[in-house]
Structures are given as C-alpha cells and as structure tokens.
A and B are shown apart, each in its own frame.
Chain A
Amino acid sequence: MNAAQTSAPLPSTYTPAPGRRFNVGDAVVVKRAFPPGHRRTPCYIRGKAGVIERVCGVFPNPEELAYGFDGEPKKVLYRVRFTQKEVWPEYRGPDRDIIEMEIFEHWLERAGV
C-alpha cells in the first residue's frame, strides 16, 4: 500500500510568477554580457536566441545567494529552448536537435526589439 492510494493529490509545488515579462512561446535572446561573479547562465548560451519553454516560478537570485545574501528580490526563472544550430553554428546533427536550460529573467531580452 503506498501513500498515493491513501491520500488526496497534493497541491502543485509550482509557484506563480504574476509579474513576469515573458510567457510560453515568447521569442527571447540571452544577454551577451560577461559580468564577473557567480552566474548560472552558461557562457556558451549568452547572445543566443530561443523560445520560452516553460515558466518555472520565482526563485532566490543565485547571484546574491552565492555571496551569503538572502537572494531577494526573487527572480522569475524560465526554461528556454534553443536549436542546436543556433547555439553551435557548426553543429553536425540534424536541424531538429534542441537544447534547453534555465535562464533567469534579468538575463533575457525580447527578440527582435
């Protein structure tokens, strides 16, 4: 007998992000910036264009947490989908191959503006 058969479904653990700038399907570009410090935006993705795959919610800012601060204000975290050909122009696999990762809102700009 497991827990699922004896208990009601739990509420979603996803946190809402009501003030967010982007929605699923929006075209975005990762900022091409190289500030010093702890960043969770991999260098290889900076400057690349993708599409919002999902909204993960709001999370403490890791760039603050890394230095012992409280991570406030929290930042909206998205999952962004990129084609491999966009990320690596010399990519050898088929055009359909993709890579996805989590990018905080302050690293994203709307594409085409």
Chain B
Amino acid sequence: MSEYKYDYYADKKLKERAGRTHDHGDHDHDHDDHAPINEHDDGPPSEFEIMSRAMQELLEEKGVITAEQVRRRMEVFEEDFPYRGSKLVARAWTDPAFRQRLLDDGKAACAEMGIDLEVDRLIAVENTPDVHNVIVCTLCSCYPRALLGMPPTWYKSRNYRSRVVFEPRAVLKEFGTVLPESVTVRVHDSNADMRYVVIPMRPEGTEGWSDEQLADMLTRDTLVGVTIPRVNAAS
C-alpha cells in the first residue's frame, strides 16, 4: 500500500542528469563550464511545462498577474530566499532571547526579521549535545522555501525520503555526519502544515564572530540537519 506521489521535479532532474551524457549524433557542439542559458533548449517542452506556460499566459491575459511579477518572484526565490534561514539562525546563536522566541513561535520570530514565511507555521528544532534533528517530507517535498529557497534534488529524491525515516544514521553517515549512539536522532516528517528548520549547535571557536560570519557557516544542509556547521568550512 503506497501513497507515492509522482515527483515531477525530482524525475525531471534525474532525466536531466541522465541527459548529460547524451549522444550528439550527427551534430557537434561545445560543452563548456558555463551553465546552459536555457536548460530546455535541448528538446521540446514537457507536458507540464506547456501546461504551466499556458496557465501563466491565461492569467496574464486576464490581468491576474504580470510577466514582471513572475520574473520578480523567480528572482527573489533565487537571490533572497536561500539566505534567510542562515541569517535567522545566526541571530538565534547570538541573541538568546530571540532564540527562545524562535523556538516558541517560529513564524512570529521570522516576522520580527521581516521574513514572510508564506506558510502557517514554522517549528524550529534545536540540536543539543544529546539530540540531533533531521528533516524530511516522506509524502512529497515540503520544505521551508521562504527560508532556504528551492529544495535540493536529494531532498526530493525517493532515496532520501524513504530511507532517512527508516535508517537515519546510515543516511547521515552518507552526508559525512557520524553521530555517537549516545545522541538521540530525532527525525521530523514534515507531512502536513508545519515547516521545520534546525538550529544547529554553535561550534566552539566562533566566539565573537559577527552574525554575517556565522551565517556563512549555516549552510542549507546544516539547517535541514544532514550535516553540522564546521569552523573550517566557513573560511
């Protein structure tokens, strides 16, 4: 019995990855180090891309949205959202009262920092010497997008989603995170209306660091809980 929901984006990424070794057939072109200008140039758009495009055109025609709004939205998704979580947690590290407010009511704490989460609730969970938190959404790919941007491919993969609930320590080890048996691994299945962010432990040797310096070490993966922040990784 399964409630598996087809994950279009994960599937598309896999196909794209498979496509990297494509046969060039009778044509010849360079593959340089630059990202492709348009990743869809290689083939016809998928059914979902056509559907999405048609929907956007209809909404524009009816005056509900403008192309500029869509473009702007994509821009903030890429340029602003991915850095908000790091700033939020860096502040929690340096401001104990804020840390407590973040734990008590994540959404209200985000609002204090001018962050509109666009979801109903945020639950911040704190790593301690005794507990390590890790986040997953087994049913689809629920993720705190307004704090971390778009979820990475591995987060949406069936591999991660099915295994991290069943053998979290093995999965964490694959991310380079080996936890002693004395630490409780606390997995959060983000399966309904809450969104989650991990507050990692602040590493020793960061005393006196600015919020900006601390934010640099608070990478996306540390806030999902698959790894822990390290001093040398930030420099």
Contact = CB atoms under 8 A, between A and B. Distances in A.
B113 A4 contact: yes
Among A9, A59, A99, A100, the most chain B Cβ lie within 10 Å of the Cβ of A99
Contacts of B93: none
A44 interface: yes
Interface stretch (B104-112, B150-158, B224-232): B104-112
B135 to A, nearest CB: 10
B3 A42 contact: yes
Given A43-B1, A98-B186, A101-B191, A10 B169 contact: no
A13 B186 contact: no
A14 B165 CA distance: 27
Contacts of B167: 91-93
Contacts of B186: 97-100
A42 B169 contact: no
Nearest to B117: A13
A12 B3 CA distance: 34
B66 interface: no
Interface of B: 1-3, 98, 101, 104-105, 107-108, 111-114, 120-121, 123, 138-139, 165-169, 181, 184-194
